[in-house]
Amino acid sequence: MDRQDRQPLPVRIQPMLAAPGLPPPPDGRWAVEMKWDGVRALAFIEDGQVRLVSRTGREITVAYPELSGLGQVSERGVSEQGTGECGAGEHSQLLLDGEIVAFGDGGWPEFEALQPRIHASTPGQAALLAAETPVTYLAFDLLQLDGRSLLDVPYRERRRLLDQLALSGPYWQTPPSFPGADFRAVLATSVANGLEGVVAKLLDSRYEAGSRSGSWRKIKNVLRQEVIIAGWKPGKGNRFGQIGSLLIGLNSPEGLIYAGHVGTGFTVETLRMLGERLAPLRRPDSPFAGPVPEEHTRTAVWVEPRLVIDVAFGSWTRAGRMRAPAYKGLRDDKEPADVVRET
């Protein structure tokens, strides 16, 4: 590529999102990947420097110092040749899409293990946490290579170029992508290892930045849902003076609607952190657009609906409420406006 035709890395790009859907047909048009339980992040890499940006556009580089080594890939790998093919050589610019994960004791990603890392805000704090709980960047898409945008290139070609990068380091790797015919086997593996599910991707699809596209389908093993905290009930007994349960909601055409209350899945540290984050958001009245059961409103402490959490739950009731939801983690990488019912 002529240097005059090289495109600079974009300042910001919104990642493509998967829509809930049915398993793909075995017609050879799809590939299947694991749905990794972590934090979505775009990696902007140029001349040895790495910039990590969350799904909401927030720069999170400082929180993950061990991922600075991703800049090393700009000194080796693949570059575009005159034929349009990619072969061995140097390249100085990459834009990757992927997931930051923390591996649990079983060797598979666990969102709960990642929680302490998400909230690191200073280099010193991040360095200490990195020594205790290192993360791994799982790169599953390539959006720009040496000044060439790949957004309009079919997924199968983007994936081929990504695989040729051979990203393999102490804190980064490229997880495999499987043919659609392997869907049942991949899904069974995800179930056996406690993962959330899989993502099926149409091989001929372009990268639709900022869209929740049917070209990517997420198929979940367990019911997981992002919800918005709208208030809490004060705790009793050993939780006296703390949060007892969180009152949660989802966006709907009518506004924020009540989806249930979460009272399990918390550690002492989590309750303390949530209490500190929610204290400045207190408000005098309910932010819900519709009714809330009286037993929850009687002692409720209401807050501005700005914090998003991830929960696992048993099923939906006919009234649109969650049965037995359990807290899984705070999602600083998700905007409240984007939280709608998905399962």
Residues carrying an active site annotation:
35
Assign 180 to helix, strand or coil.
Answer: helix
Pick from 310, 284, 286, 305: which is nearest to 296 by CA? Answer: 286
β-pairing, 39-46 with 93-101?
antiparallel
Whether residue 264 contacts residue 328, with contact meaning beta carbons closer than 8 Å, is answered with no
CA pair distance 45, 39, nearest whole angstrom: 18
Q: Which residues lie below 8 Å from residue 220, measured CB to CB, with a gap of 6+?
A: 20, 35, 196, 197, 343
CA pair distance 44, 139, nearest whole angstrom: 12
Whether residue 329 contacts residue 114, with contact meaning beta carbons closer than 8 Å, is answered with yes
Beta-carbon count within 10 A of 256 CB: 20
Q: Which two tokens stand for residue 257?
A: 């609607």
Backbone phi, psi, residue 83, to 5°: -80, -10
Q: Which residues lie below 8 Å from residue 132, measured CB to CB, with a gap of 6+?
A: 116
Pick from 93, 174, 187: which is nearest to 140 by CA? Answer: 174
Cα–Cα distances (Å) from 10 to 95, 96, 145, 228, in that order, read 9, 12, 12, 31
Whether residue 249 contacts residue 257, with contact meaning beta carbons closer than 8 Å, is answered with yes
Backbone phi, psi, residue 189, to 5°: -65, -40
CA 215, 221, 222: angle at the middle one, nearest 5?
120
